[in-house]
Amino acid sequence: MTSPKPIILAVDDEVDLLETYRSILGKQYEVLTAPSGKQALEILKAKAVALVLLDMKMPGMSGLELLRQVRQAENDVAVIIITALQEVATAVEAMKLGALDYLTKPFDKDALRLTVESALAQRALRRENLLLKETVKELSSYCDLIGQTPAMRQLYSLIDKVAPTDSTILIHGESGTGKELVARAIHQKSRRAAKPLITLNCAAIPETLMESELFGHERGSFTGAQERKLGKFELADGGSLFLDEVGCMSPALQAKFLRVLESKMIERIGGEKSIPVDVRIISATNINFQKEIAGGSFRHDLYYRLNVIPINLTPLRERKEDIPLFVAYFLEKYNKQLNKEVRSLAPEALQKLLDYPWPGNVRELQNMIERLVVLAGGPVITPEEIPIITTSTQPAESVLKQNVMSHERQVIVDALKLADNNRTKAAKILGIPRSTLNSRISTLGLS
């Protein structure tokens, strides 16, 4: 079944010009005509008009007045102004009221066809963008998570099942896939939602401070401990504790952490008493735990305690149908933040985003949209404004990133060889904290 032709309404008091519109556009579109503004309003109420060709100077209701009434009715019809050359100033005023384009009399057939095609394409793009925004609003009601692919719907269903329990959860996923957002969704839907969700990035804390961060310390327990400090476990009491990059914990700390999970009691550094804590643990990682366990870097018994309920996040390259939703969401976000008015991406520009494999996942896409909004030259982002030259057949990482990671991998391998695979010694050779080395080893897939 063929789709119906778009309806074009030509409004002009010159009967000959109305016949001209029918002759030029009648094969491609359904052309309706009205000799006055009043009759045009009646047709607009009765028909799903896609575009109006509107003469500015008409007896009775002027073209500007008709345009105002069309916009007050919140009609999404596209409007092209038809005006005499000496009335261009009026056309500019009409553009401010929402007309998409204008033609000056006399015009040729090709100019009319091209202007109509362009206006209808802009209207379709605007309607698609509005639909995406409505979809985003509906989906973002699920704890700020966005997506309607089967993988995301399965994720929402799983969160609904596990959130009311107190079971430990381990979120597996590549960097930038939204592991912390999932942790927040689980907490918000749990019985602990009224209590705090405390987060800690294990890869960002030096190994020497990690125990204090988790369990706290008493005044004078070590050099620099000038006052008592509560750890993340105490701060999260009654709520949830989210440990990102949990695979970066040292073996010694893993043993203490496991003991806390089993006893639900902590001891501050330098303290003499055990403190009961009621905390749900949600962890996240982007490493292959089986390799870490096999290499002796991570305790298998702790892994089993953390991985009671595994949640695997799908990378963006495997759910590209969600990319338009993210684009609409981030456009709206950065338009508000940056006081910009970027409405949408041209279809070819969106296609470039769909063709790119997004090794940095949603975080990389978010940064890209922010950059595009900042540098946008108009309300619609063109393909030339997107600094990506790639196809869907290219590998998941750009050549530059591959080269950088390859060099970094070799440097770490050389340091480990010099240190006879002792990570503490290798970290000293490289001049970085052991926790940072652990994080990079995990990210690069080294064992």
Kind and range of the H or E element at 250?
A: none
- pTM, two decimals, is 0.62
User: Distance from CA of residue 331 to its chain's centroid?
Assistant: 9
Express each pLDDT in 305-326 by its tens digit. 999 999 999 999 999 999 998 9
Tell me the residue ranges of DSSP E strands in 327-375. 344-345
d(CA 399, CA 383): 21
Taken in order of first residue, the domains within the chain and their CATH numbers are: 7-137 (3.40.50.2300), 150-312 (3.40.50.300), 316-385 (1.10.8.60), 399-443 (1.10.10)
Tell me the residue ranges of DSSP E strands in 12-98. 30-34, 49-55, 78-84
Q: What's the sign of the alpha-carbon dihedral 56, 62, 68, 74? A: negative
d(CA 396, CA 409): 17
Cβ–Cβ under 8 Å, residues 113 and 159: no
Express each pLDDT in 158-175 by its tens digit. 999 999 999 999 999 999
Residues in the chain with pLDDT < 50? 1, 390-397, 399
Helix and strand numbers (H, E) in the chain are 18, 16
- Write down the pLDDT at residue 316: 95
